[in-house]
Chain A
Amino acid sequence: MDTTTLAKMMLATPCGLGVIAGLMWWLRRDRKEYGKWLGWITITVSIGLWVISFLWLIRWPNLSGIQDGAITFEWNILFFARYFRLDALSIFFVLLVNTISLAVAWNDNAYLKMDDSLFGTRSLKSPVFFHGMVNLFHFTMLLVPMVDNLVGLWIAIELTTLFSAFLVAHEDRKESWEAAWKYLIITSTGIILALLGTMFLANAVPTDIIPTDIDGTPLDIVMNWSWLVDNASNLTKSYVWLSFLFVLVGYGTKAGLAPMHTWLPDGHGEAPAPISALLSGVLLKSALYAILRFYTLTNIVLENREFTSYILLGAGLFSLVLSAPFILKENIFKRVLAYHSLEHMGIIVFGIAIGGTAAMFGALLHCFNHAITKALMFLSYGNIIRHYAKSNIEAREITGVLRNMPWNGAFLVLGGLALVGTPPFNIFVSELFILYGALSRLGNGAKPDIPNFPSWIVIAAIVVFLVSTTLIFYGLVHHMAHLAMGWNERVQLVKEKLWHSDLGPVVLLGLIMLLLGSWIYPPLARLIQDSVVIVNRI
């Protein structure tokens, strides 16, 4: 099968599955056995999609239909996003989405309760509805890196909000609805600014260069990223400049960058653990992907990187600094993990701002590493919460995890150590790349592939980076020590049940995390290198 057909299958399968599940729920035809089947079908589909994206990874750049480093195709069925384009950067993000989605789909079966009362009543807690929303969410997150049209990209990101809001509120508690409310209000406000930014970009295109068909009807390819990049020299600079500002605020809200991150702790904290894994691991990266596309385009149009890089440097460091006090204070562990997402988005954006091959490679690798590690943390912590809940112990009281749940506890501790950048784990490697990229700029003078920052700015940024990550290291280790090794005499638990849906995804993610700490799989390194070339284009 050629790449185009596989790409269409990749989009159609979760979308179709989601629509069928949604219809079953709406027509009150959802039954307990359907809930179970859907769970297994979702896992099977997720495995299939992951295999396709892995095959793309190992065959890159020799995929069928590739021309000038990308595969382009039209698919009129999706009228709002009918232009598709797969280049190294898109395939990298597709792989990221499918990896985390596979682990989450596997864990969903352990999370979902199959109470008879939830079926046939249009309950939002119905497992059939949950699977439907998860599949639609998966579909929209795959759409983001595949679509070429920037308005289509906006619609895809906007749809991720719609489906994920229902998943945040899935547990139907007061707090989960409040979290969903904040999430939707804040991200909608942000995303409206991103659309306005996209409109400014549309206005940057002079009318005389818009291609037309034989009848003189203007073609709508003008909002395709690839077309805009090819015609960058004709775009009006001031509109592109303004567009980037709006897009950064808009998609930055969705990516959880400070100061627009306020939905993040509530959303991540109140969502079911598998959904928190998707939100933190993939959703934030999808918004970042959109920022990256605009970043590249803006740099090409403005013919320099300074404008975008200064703004991104500020946003990255601000996110990093702001997350530190919230991680240091006493808080619910899931909220601590949410603030960690803020920190890591800050690190990624810092890497992009520093620019150059090493730091950009580190930033993209960090996207993957953070997604793996954070999903591992949320899934194992979700398993722990469920296990303790059987003994009526609330999340706030959980302690002594290593003793009571040695398997999940061990992976949680390993994930925690990875998250704070301890060697020999994956995050240490990507942070090292970013730091090396920053340090290697000092004294080397101006280069065409890096923004021309004065040395004192780079030094100050490195100092802020190191101080913040050190404080955060202390904060998370403090939380982890209490969680893993604390003592509470009330805690008398039944033995840890090692069910495949509980532990399987955690082990899978744990192995990837450990592997990436010591060895970057060469096809992955090549894909990231090619992605760096795309992002660094000027």
Chain B
Amino acid sequence: MINDSIKTLLSYTILLLEIGMLLQALRVTLSPSVKGVIISYRSGLFLLAAVTGLTAIPNLNKPGNPWLFLALIVLLPFTLAFWIEWFLSGATVELEPIKSKTDFVWKLFTLNWKSPKAEKIWRKNETQIQIRTGVHFIAFSLLTALAFVVAFSWLKPPSTSDSSLLLDERTGIMVSLALHLLGLYNTFVKTDIISQVSGLFVMDQGLFLAVVKIVAIPVPATFFVVSLYFYTLITLVILLVLVPRVRQKFETIDLDEISNNSSLKG
């Protein structure tokens, strides 16, 4: 059994981690380079994994399969954090094939999935982009404020005697909503097809958090965990199939260039 002081400590730690996730989402928006996006995204995923673990602690002795649930939900962010750079490199340039099994094992253990050619393109794009920090910061504040209003003012959660649970749940809803809105904002403001996908990633984190916080563990949320896997499948299809094809056909990752060369208008 966990006593009340530990519960309070857990809940404050989770709150801090969630705020950290929000700030990482802001960093994704503010980052001019794909490299920066990757770092912020990875940090966000690690914070998410921590939130998941801490949220699960008080529920691990409950009926159902909370351990399995926890493992499934943590596995996905970690896997994505691990492969993300390789996915984005593959979307940017044609990757050199892995030469041998030894080469594969070496890359696996050294986390060396980088592609110098891809990084060169990312750096080139970085110098051409002007980040409007002020505008993004205002948008971040407004979207977070909107999420706060929805979670704390519009929603009237089911009556519960445990006020700390209520606060925990509302904070979870607020951060999850804010991540969705920020992700949506990112898909609009990013100027290349690689970074545009980062908007979907941020929304993805919001979804994970929603499953963890809104659909309380271990209430029957198996379907939601499965749905996260299906959603990730779509994101991977976008990254591994669609983006490389669009880049090959248009010979650029720049959204303005793609739009200028497009005949799909009107």
Contacts and interface: CB of A to CB of B under 8 A. Distances in A.
A and B interact: yes
Interface of A: 79-80, 149, 151-152, 154-155, 158-159, 161-162, 165, 169, 173-175, 177-182, 184-185, 188-189, 191-193, 195-196, 199-200, 202-204, 206-207, 210, 212, 215-220, 222-223, 236-239, 242, 265-266, 269-270, 326, 329, 331, 335
Interface string B128-159: 00000000000000000000001000111110
7 contacts: A162-B233, A177-B242, A184-B238, A188-B231, A200-B214, A217-B64, A239-B157
B165 to A, nearest CB: 10
Contact of A80 (B184, B226, B246): B226
A149 B220 contact: no
Contact of A199 (B196, B224, B242): B224
B90 interface: no
B222 to A, nearest CB: 6
Contacts of B258: 178
A188 B224 contact: no
B262 interface: yes
Contacts of B215: 199, 202-203
Interface in B228-266: 230-231, 233-235, 237-238, 242-243, 245-246, 249-250, 258, 262-264, 266
Main secondary structure, interface of A, reads helix
From A203, A216, A217, residue with most partner B Cβ within 10 Å: A203
B246 A177 contact: yes
Contact of A175 (B218, B220, B263): B263
Contacts of B176: 196
Interface string B193-205: 1001001100110
A220 B222 contact: yes
A80 B264 contact: no
B207 interface: yes
B71 interface: no
Contacts of A158: 227, 230-231, 234
A295 to B, nearest CB: 20
A218 B227 contact: no
B195 to A, nearest CB: 12
A270 B264 contact: yes
B241 to A, nearest CB: 8
Please list the 4 inter-chain residue pairs (A to B) with the smallest Cβ-Cβ separation, ordered nearest first: A151-B223, A220-B220, A238-B156, A174-B249
Contacts of B42: none
A444 to B, nearest CB: 34
Contacts of B154: 238, 242
A165 B184 contact: no
Contacts of B227: 80, 151, 154-155, 158, 195
From B204, B211, B223, residue with most partner A Cβ within 10 Å: B223
B111 interface: no
A160 to B, nearest CB: 11
Contact of B238 (A185, A196, A219, A222): A185
B171 to A, nearest CB: 14
Given A177-B249, A189-B187, A266-B264, 8 more contacts: A181-B243, A185-B196, A199-B207, A203-B169, A203-B214, A212-B63, A218-B219, A223-B220
Contacts of A180: 242
Contact of A218 (B64, B183, B224, B235): B64
Contacts of A80: 223, 226-227, 230
